[in-house]
């Protein structure tokens, strides 16, 4: 059992992973693959490699198998550098997508390139959007983009998505006809638009919660997220009752988890979720959050210090020491 994940939550995430994988595979086998319109990310890369191998060397490798092979080194990167829970559910979705791509028949529903582009992008976006809404990734570029963003804090993961997907589109245009690359762009636009309708495209969000259970909620957030927050004394404009507003910045992958946490501790809390375009200051990654948790339990190894950096390490060391003295 994963830490902090109940059996009910595990079952729910597995069901979401199955649905997301099925929709992604369905969109490819019914719309995108027959039309030579390329999917986003690693699925699109696998699709392109399969086409090039078949056309140039007459080697047939199934797209499902290539999706699995290409995602394996990415899963290892994610396991050690991004987060174990996030990577595990992402890889489960990848394995299921590979399975569905293999068992579902290639059956074009239309010969119209535009219809295939629109419906292929829309159906895959429903799968991806629902997965993201429940804190699951469909693997591939998500993990790479998060890792690269952590190495370069001044860049957004959206930039890496654009670059990596752009490479696939350009290669498709050079090797095959440019019309397929242009229809792939249309499919990507539809895909992004639908995902934004279901979930949020913003990598970071500001959560403002007005609650009467500030102490319990603050402790729970610190225990599960290790994120700093701003505590603002408030009162109800209509009732005049004393309240507390908690303001915290999270990644969009943490949105589902924090929504559940707030609802569990204070079902009557009023929560406003705002889009955050830029942060100036400290924002801890999942790896850094684990290092803070380790310090809470007395782990002051060199690895922890390296993960947090000298300044943050000293800050938390003093913070936990003063808490212990109290």
For residue 51, give Cα distances in angstroms to 25, 55, 168: 17, 6, 12
Q: Is residue 22 part of a domain?
A: yes
Q: Is residue 237 domain-shared with residue 273, that is, in the same domain?
A: yes
pLDDT reported for residue 215 = 92
Cα Rg of the chain (Å, integer): 22
Q: Is residue 182 part of a domain?
A: yes
In the predicted model, is pLDDT for residue 80 greater than 70?
Answer: yes
Q: Is residue 77 part of a domain?
A: yes
Question: For position 260, which CATH number holds?
Answer: 3.30.70.120
Residue-averaged pLDDT of the chain:
84
**CA atoms in the 13 A half-sphere facing the CB of 7:** 0
What angle is formed at CA 192 by the lines to CA 19 and CA 281, rounded to 5 degrees? 105
In the predicted model, is pLDDT for residue 302 greater than 80?
Answer: no
pLDDT reported for residue 200 = 60
pLDDT reported for residue 247 = 94
Does residue 141 or residue 219 have the better pLDDT? 219
Residue 95 banded pLDDT, cuts 50, 70, 90: very high
Determine the Cα–Cα distance for residues 281 and 119; give it in Å rounded to an integer. 41
For residue 70, give Cα distances in angstroms to 133, 137, 148, 268: 25, 16, 18, 45
Least confident of 57-66, 183-192, 223-232, 312-321: 312-321
Q: Is residue 1 part of a domain?
A: no
Buried b (16+ CB within 10 A) or exposed e, 42-77: bbbbbbbbbbeeeeeeeeeeebbebbbebbeebbee
> What pTM was computed for the model?
0.69
In the predicted model, is pLDDT for residue 86 greater than 90?
Answer: no
Q: Is residue 54 part of a domain?
A: yes
Determine the Cα–Cα distance for residues 142 and 163; give it in Å rounded to an integer. 13
Q: Is residue 142 part of a domain?
A: yes
* Domain assignment of residue 250, given as a range: 202-277
CB 132 within 8 A of CB 142: no
Q: Is residue 79 domain-shared with residue 104, that is, in the same domain?
A: yes
Q: Is residue 47 domain-shared with residue 179, that is, in the same domain?
A: yes
Among residues 89, 91, 95, which one has the least CA distance to residue 74?
Answer: 91
Crossing angle (nearest 10°) for helices 286-296 and 310-325: 40
Bridge partners (DSSP) listed for residue 245: 210, 232
Q: Is residue 2 part of a domain?
A: no
The percentage of residues in the chain with a pLDDT greater than 90, rounded to a whole number, is 39
Least confident of 17-31, 149-163, 229-243: 149-163
Residue 37 banded pLDDT, cuts 50, 70, 90: very high
Determine the Cα–Cα distance for residues 253 and 267; give it in Å rounded to an integer. 22
DSSP string computed for 237-276: TTT--EEEEEEEEEEGGGHHHHHHHHHHH-TT-EEEEEEE
């Amino acid at each position: 059992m994963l830490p902090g994940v109940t059996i009910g939550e595990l079952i729910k995430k597995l069901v979401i992973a199955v649905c997301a994988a099925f929709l992604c595979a369905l969109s490819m086998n019914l719309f995108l693959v027959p039309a030579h319109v390329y999917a986003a990310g690693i699925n699109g890369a696998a699709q392109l490699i399969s086409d090039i191998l078949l056309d140039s060397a007459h080697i047939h490798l199934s797209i499902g198998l290539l999706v699995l092979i290409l995602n394996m080194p990415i899963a290892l990167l994610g396991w050690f550098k991004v987060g174990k829970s996030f990577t595990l559910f992402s890889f489960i979705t990848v394995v299921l997508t590979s399975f569905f791509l293999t068992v579902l028949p290639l059956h074009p529903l239309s010969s119209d390139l535009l219809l295939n582009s629109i419906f292929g992008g829309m159906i895959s976006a429903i799968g991806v959007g629902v997965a993201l809404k429940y804190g699951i990734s469909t693997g591939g570029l998500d993990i790479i983009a998060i890792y690269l963003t952590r190495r370069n804090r001044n860049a957004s993961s959206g930039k890496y998505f654009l670059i990596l997907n752009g490479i696939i589109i350009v290669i498709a245009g050079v090797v095959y006809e440019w019309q397929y690359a242009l229809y792939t762009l249309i499919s990507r636009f539809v895909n992004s638009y639908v995902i934004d309708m279901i979930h949020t495209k913003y990598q970071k969000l500001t959560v403002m919660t007005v609650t009467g259970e500030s102490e319990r909620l603050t402790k729970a957030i610190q225990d599960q997220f290790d994120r700093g927050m701003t505590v603002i004394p408030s009162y109800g404009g209509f009732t005049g009752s004393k309240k507390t507003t908690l303001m915290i910045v999270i990644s969009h992958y943490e949105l589902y988890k924090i929504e559940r946490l707030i609802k569990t501790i204070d079902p009557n809390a009023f929560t406003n979720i705002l889009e955050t375009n830029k942060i100036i200051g400290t924002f801890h990654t999942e790896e850094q959050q684990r290092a803070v948790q380790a310090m809470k339990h007395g782990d002051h190894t060199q690895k922890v210090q390296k993960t947090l950096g000298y300044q943050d390490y000293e800050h938390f060391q003093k913070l936990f020491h003063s808490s212990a003295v109290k």
